[in-house]
Chains A and B, each alone.
Chain A
Amino acid sequence: MPDLDFEVTDLPASDHPEPGDVAPEFTRPLVGPEYWADESLSSVVAEGPTLLVFHPMDGAFPTTYMWNAIDDHGFADAVQVVGVSISTPYEHKDLLAERGEAARLFSDPDAGVAAAYDLENDLDGMAGVTEHRPAVFLLDSDRTVEYAWVADEWPAFPDYEAIAAAVADHA
């Protein structure tokens, strides 16, 4: 974020997976270019190192910024890139039509995966809506966490150069 002359909202401490931990398993609809189907995280990572990107609902500006930056850095050329948000498969199809090149997106409307990763963000002013705080994990093919970044402010954006370094080390 640019330097602002006021305080940015802090998010509470998170007990999220750290490097060396095994990322929690889950199954959700995974949206690809042509259809969606239930997929487990373990079946996805079994195909190779995976950048798992938690982001705000599709259409929010941080989501757009994050996917634009992920595309600009070309992470999908080196590893699998998989997103997660509370948005429906229909909204994910729209996102993938605009950005998220070669990415696939899990749909987690009840934010159950956010709970499992301790990434829940209860949105002020949107009653009943809990989404995922921005977070990025690089996972090995056995779901071991190689790199982790989790937002501690709202909003906050990933350190893409740090992600690039982690991808270069582990791809």
Chain B
Amino acid sequence: MSDSDPELTLYRLQACPFCERVVRVLDDLDLAYDSRFVEPMHADRNVVKRVSGKRSVPALVDEATGVTMSESGNIVEYLERTYGDGGAA
């Protein structure tokens, strides 16, 4: 938990381009988020599986909406729809 306790948590792998793509969108939308870094080895990512049902990263948890999702394309679309110009939030 960081000091600000943002409601968005990003499970990510260092240098993973799909994760960096999500980070760019989070930054563009000026959204605060916590980063949790996991292992390169798929088999060692039980926390991601527990949270999202899959071991793939990126995985985003949004406590504000109760949404948890994987796949960077889906996440980017979700963020822009929810927090972008004309978004619901």
Interface residues of A (CB under 8 A from B): 27, 29, 34-40, 43, 89, 93
9 tightest CB-CB pairs across the interface, nearest first? Answer: A34-B47, A35-B36, A37-B36, A36-B37, A35-B38, A38-B2, A35-B47, A40-B3, A35-B37
Complex: A140 Cα to B46 Cα, angstroms: 32
The listed residue (A27, A36, A43) touching B36 by CB distance below 8 A is A36
- Which DSSP category, helix, strand, loop or mixed, fits chain A's interface? strand
Does B34 have its Cβ within 8 Å of any Cβ on chain A?
Answer: yes
Q: List B contacts of A40 (CB < 8 A).
A: 2-3
Interface residues of B (CB under 8 A from A): 1-3, 11, 34-39, 46-47
Q: Identify the closest chain B residue to A40 (Cβ).
A: B3
Q: Identify the closest chain B residue to A46 (Cβ).
A: B1
The listed residue (B35, B39, B47) touching A38 by CB distance below 8 A is B35
A35 x B3 contact (CB < 8 A): no
The listed residue (B3, B35, B39, B46) touching A37 by CB distance below 8 A is B35
Complex: A39 Cα to B35 Cα, angstroms: 11
Complex: A93 Cα to B34 Cα, angstroms: 20
Q: Identify the closest chain A residue to B50 (Cβ).
A: A34
Q: List A contacts of B35 (CB < 8 A).
A: 37-38
Complex: A1 Cα to B89 Cα, angstroms: 62
A34 x B3 contact (CB < 8 A): no
Q: Identify the closest chain B residue to A42 (Cβ).
A: B3
Complex: A36 Cα to B1 Cα, angstroms: 11
> Can you report 30 residue pairs joining A to B where beta carbons are below 8 Å apart?
A27-B2, A27-B3, A29-B37, A34-B38, A34-B46, A34-B47, A35-B11, A35-B36, A35-B37, A35-B38, A35-B47, A36-B36, A36-B37, A37-B1, A37-B2, A37-B34, A37-B35, A37-B36, A38-B2, A38-B34, A38-B35, A39-B1, A39-B2, A40-B2, A40-B3, A43-B1, A43-B2, A43-B3, A89-B37, A93-B39
Q: List A contacts of B46 (CB < 8 A).
A: 34
Q: List A contacts of B1 (CB < 8 A).
A: 37, 39, 43
Complex: A54 Cα to B85 Cα, angstroms: 47
Complex: A29 Cα to B34 Cα, angstroms: 12
How far does the Cβ of A13 sit from chain B's closest Cβ, in whole Å? 33
A37 x B37 contact (CB < 8 A): yes
